[in-house]
Amino acid sequence: MSTTSVMPSPIHQPFDLDAWSRVRLAEVEAALDRWVTADVPQGLDHGAPAQLVEAMRYAVLDGGKRLRPLLVLAAQEAVDIQGAGGAAAGQHAALRAACAVELIHAYSLVHDDMPCMDNDVLRRGKPTVHVRFGEASALLAGDALQALAFELLTPQDGSVPETIQARLCASLARAAGSAGMAGGQAIDLASVGLPLTEVQLREMHELKTGALLQASVMMGALCGVSNVQAATALHAYGRAIGLAFQVVDDILDVTADSSTLGKTAGKDADNNKPTYVSLMGLPASRAYAQRLLHQAQAALDGSGLAQTRALSALADMVVNRAS
């Protein structure tokens, strides 16, 4: 009697996320170190541009999970390992997109930490940018990081096709603007002390946190070649993990300490901000995060893509992380 073995689908095969991430993170860190700089005009004695660049580099380098860049790179690998226009072209576009998303994320943290918003003093295990450099320098550093993100997406050397440049810029702008991250932050600031329904809380976080995470996935897909089925599945995956990230953030805010988080723990409760934990309770919030993880994995299962193990592992990391 013969038996037929069933091979597990690629998404469920063992995958070494640490090994995969180390290679990609080294590329991202080297690129950020190379690109987050500027030529300081000659003849300026006060050195203001040099200090601005120092603040920018302080905000971006040597810290953070780099989740958004990893999502960009994993999505590009998933949709087409050859990339748009060939392997080198697709990977180069994805690396630029990965760094651009991280610059937008970094700028948002710089501004969010300032006294006019969350007034925080600790970020990524070190003093926030406005504490280290002053409020004016922090404001300018955030502005400059935002501008640099779009500069990275529009190289003039022909290395990224102009059609891809335009799509990447449009995707990032939508995710970062009033219908995305900035709009979500505005709702967050206006909601302090107010009771929100679960629907209202979800809508706020889908803008504030989820939009940029979802855009990271879709920008990676834009650097390759995908069909409607794959694009729809990746959109659903990105939406699920974008919300899951914030749910877990709310959980960690009440269960982890500041040294573990690298930022001030308990700030949401201290500032009377609505969170998933305050609305649903801790056990229900944890269960909700797991449901969102299941949704993300189900989307990948239905994508028709073969190279989704990195995306799957990243979703698991988002939900089951400790910091």
How is residue 143 written in tokens? 């502005």
pLDDT tens, 29-55? 999 999 998 654 454 445 458 889 999
CA distance to 23, 69, 209, 250, per residue, from 278 (Å):
39, 30, 18, 9
CA distance 254 to 234: 31
- Tell me the pLDDT band of 90, cut-offs 50, 70 and 90: confident
- Tell me the pLDDT band of 13, cut-offs 50, 70 and 90: low
Residue pair 232/309 in contact (Cβ under 8 Å)? The answer is no
Q: What share of the chain is helix, strand, coil (3-state, %, to 5)?
A: 70, 0, 30
305 inside domain:
yes
If you write DSSP's letter for every residue of 180-235 in order, what string do you get?
THHHHHHHHHHTTT----HHHHHHHHIIIIIHHHHHHHHHHHHTS---HHHHHHHH
207 inside domain:
yes
**How far is C-alpha 246 from the geometric centre of its chain's CA atoms?**
11
Q: How many CB atoms lie within 10 A of CB 88?
A: 11
- The predicted model scores a pTM of 0.89
Per-residue pLDDT averaged across 22-28, rounded? 95
Per-residue pLDDT averaged across 13-19, rounded? 86
105 inside domain:
yes
Residues 6+ apart with CB under 8 A from 51: 133, 137
Q: 87-96, 137-146, 259-268 — which is least confidently predicted? A: 259-268
214 inside domain:
yes
Q: How many CA atoms lie within 13 A of 176 on its CB side?
A: 25
Range of the domain at 300: 16-37+45-320
Element (H, E) at 138: helix 135-152
Q: How many CB atoms lie within 10 A of CB 143?
A: 15
Name the residue type at position 169: C
How is residue 94 written in tokens? 């994805």
Per-residue pLDDT averaged across 220-247, rounded? 94
Q: 75-79, 88-92, 113-117, 271-275 — which is least confidently predicted? A: 271-275
Residues 6+ apart with CB under 8 A from 166: none
182 inside domain:
yes
pLDDT of 193: 85
pLDDT of 322: 85
Mean pLDDT of the chain: 87
CATH number for 52: 1.10.600.10
pLDDT of 88: 73
Domain count, the chain: 1
CA distance 127 to 121: 6
3 inside domain:
no
9 inside domain:
no
pLDDT(4) > 50:
no
pLDDT tens, 122-140? 888 888 999 999 999 999 9
pLDDT of 80: 78
246 inside domain:
yes
At CA 248, angle to CA 314 and CA 277, rounded to 5? 165
